[in-house]
A and B are shown apart, each in its own frame.
Chain A
Amino acid sequence: MSVEPTVQPTSIKKRRKTLLGFVPEESIFYNLHPATRLIIFIVSGFAPIWIDLPEINIAIIILLLVLFTVGGVDLSRLKIYLPMMVTAAIFMFGIRFLFPAYESGYIPLQVGPFTVYYQPIFWAFISYWRIFALVFASIFYFSTNRESDTLIALRAFRTPFAATYLMALSLRSAGMFMEDFSIIRQAEQARGLDTGALSLRDRIKLYTMYTVPLFSIAIMRATEVSAALFARGYTISGRPPGKKKRAVYILTLHSFKWLDWFVSIFFILLFVVIVYLQTVHGTFRIEHSPMNHFFYNLVTR
């Protein structure tokens, strides 16, 4: 009898678990200092706020998708955000259909039984892509950075230790809260509770009831963490005895190289230029949008 050899997949992308999801085991972005990565996130995340032109925000999203691929992030994981994109579109455009908000000069459009106006609809379109450029920048950041990278970056920016520590504990408690919630739900299912068969009213009641065990566990955990902090000699100021400066060991493992300086300065300058061009010259205003001109000509023809 012959045994067929097991076929091994040729390329399995290894991933590391984080509290909020997964990041690739290896990524080109890990060559950058965590502080540089945070700067890229801040710029790519906040720049769309100053940009009205949907063309640029769509281009930012496409660029981020390319970076996802370059960074070794599994693009198929983005599918989970699809319902959010659809829901946001329904809400943002639905509001313009239900509450058209007419002002003089608006161009009316008849869509079935609804009379809507071109300008508010196009503004919804602008806002939609602006929000999603921002959301994609966040997804990109958290898909290529662990929580600890954020903390290292904040410590590199000389953020007070107590503040970064509070943030770490908050992130940790969020993960544990979700885990406790999942355990409580599994325990209920194990005892025969079928939440799918419950009415909306009963579901609301059920979710309200979850708060009791969840808060009890949270209080218990807070006591345990506080005891662990005491045992490790932590003081609220984070300062060691004798008013010495705290040695942040983890920062010594990451050096800020010339590439970091280059990338950081480039992104900071890019941000300054975008803000300057928009606030002083209005470069990214809606009236400069080719897409706007195209649709405007289409509806006014």
Chain B
Amino acid sequence: MLAVSVKNLSWKYEHATEFALKGANLDIEEGSFVAIVGPNEAGKTTLVSAIQGLIPHSFNGVIRGYVEVFGEKVAEKSSLELAQEVGLVFSDPEAQFTAMTVQEELVFGMENIGLTVEEIDERLHWAVEMADIADLLDKSPFDISGGQKQRVNIAAILAMRPPILILDEPTSMLDPLGKDFIFDVLTTLREQVAMTLIVVEHNIEQIAPLADQIALVYDGQVVKVAEPREFFADSGFLSERHVEPPEVTALAHWLREQRYYNGPLPLKMDEALSISRDLLKREVK
């Protein structure tokens, strides 16, 4: 079943001169992990805002086309319905805080969607464990590090258990350690939670091995959607659109050009090491 279906979506923000999205199309299968990549100002955030319903509910502008979530049009759903179906974690961790302690921050969304105290308690413990933030519950959200803030935001949305979870550049404002923590959380989510995950991310090295599919957004359109190895197969197409493959994939491309290697493209370091070992063995023979 399709979790998300974007059909010929065009969107122009109020007072903007150009459309941010220009007839974008994207289908996302339920339960899949989709990475959305592309250069700045390509329309990635606008696309996920439209999936979450912020567009057209919270922003003014001109819309053409539509977005469907589980077969129903987003424009026809209420904010409460959307919050229960699509969770959105923003890039700026601080801009999302609306409470005075981490614990209150986590329960806020659950209270909004009408859960009972018992349900809140059960989900709170689950989300805290998933995001590994048990020691932060009593702290002020402003008194913790950037990586911890973003984990709190992920836990806050996770606790609402939306079937679709979108993370819009969750690591863009974090230091390397904070980024690693977020990718650890994403790995845990991928392995343990049956959710449709949509992650807008610039860090292709780390997101590619996690994704089932990668979508390239360029100039307001989704210009390519494919399984990661297939996505990186045409490196020239990606380079023209300012997207570079992971270094290990780029190395394999070079080896292919030099006719040393003709196998599948690696996405992770251990895959690249295995290829290197095989090549070395062949050379020695």
Chain A positions near chain B (C-beta within 8 angstroms): 16-19, 146-148, 151, 165, 168-169, 171-172, 175-176, 221, 224-235, 238, 240-242, 244, 246-250, 252
Contacts and interface: CB of A to CB of B under 8 A. Distances in A.
Interface in B111-135: 111-117, 120-121, 124
Interface string B239-283: 000000000000000000000000000000000000000000000
Given A148-B104, A232-B98, A247 B116 contact: yes
Task: State the 3 A-B residue pairs at the shortest beta-carbon distance, nearest first.
Answer: A233-B83, A240-B114, A224-B95
Given A146-B100, A146-B101, 9 more contacts: A17-B142, A169-B98, A225-B95, A227-B58, A228-B97, A232-B112, A233-B109, A249-B121, A250-B104
Contact of B101 (A148, A176, A225, A252): A148
Given A171-B100, A226-B58, A249-B107, A240 B90 contact: no
B98 A244 contact: no
B177 interface: no
Contacts, number: 122
Output the residue of A229, A231, A234 with the most chain B CB within 10 A.
A231
B111 A228 contact: no
Given A16-B140, A250-B103, A229 B98 contact: yes
B140 A228 contact: no
Contact of A231 (B54, B100, B110): B54
Output the residue of A17, A19, A172, A225 with the most chain B CB within 10 A.
A172
Output the residue of A17, A165, A249 with the most chain B CB within 10 A.
A249
Nearest to B49: A227
Contacts of A244: 114
Nearest to B58: A230
8 contacts: A19-B142, A172-B100, A231-B88, A232-B98, A235-B112, A240-B111, A240-B112, A241-B113
A226 B98 CA distance: 10
Chief secondary structure at chain B's binding surface: helix
Nearest to A245: B114
A47 B92 CA distance: 45
Interface residues on B, range: 35 or more
Given A226-B58, A228-B95, A230-B54, A242 B114 contact: yes
Nearest to A221: B95
A168 B104 CA distance: 11
Given A147-B100, A227-B90, A231-B88, A247 B58 contact: no
B111 A172 contact: no
A247 B100 contact: no
A246 B111 contact: yes
Nearest to B89: A231
Contacts of B103: 250
Nearest to A240: B114
A148 B58 contact: no
A248 B111 contact: yes
A176 B98 CA distance: 12
A168 B100 contact: yes
B18 interface: no
Contacts of B213: none
B87 interface: yes
A19 B94 CA distance: 14
A178 to B, nearest CB: 11
A230 B104 contact: no
A221 B98 CA distance: 11
A264 to B, nearest CB: 23
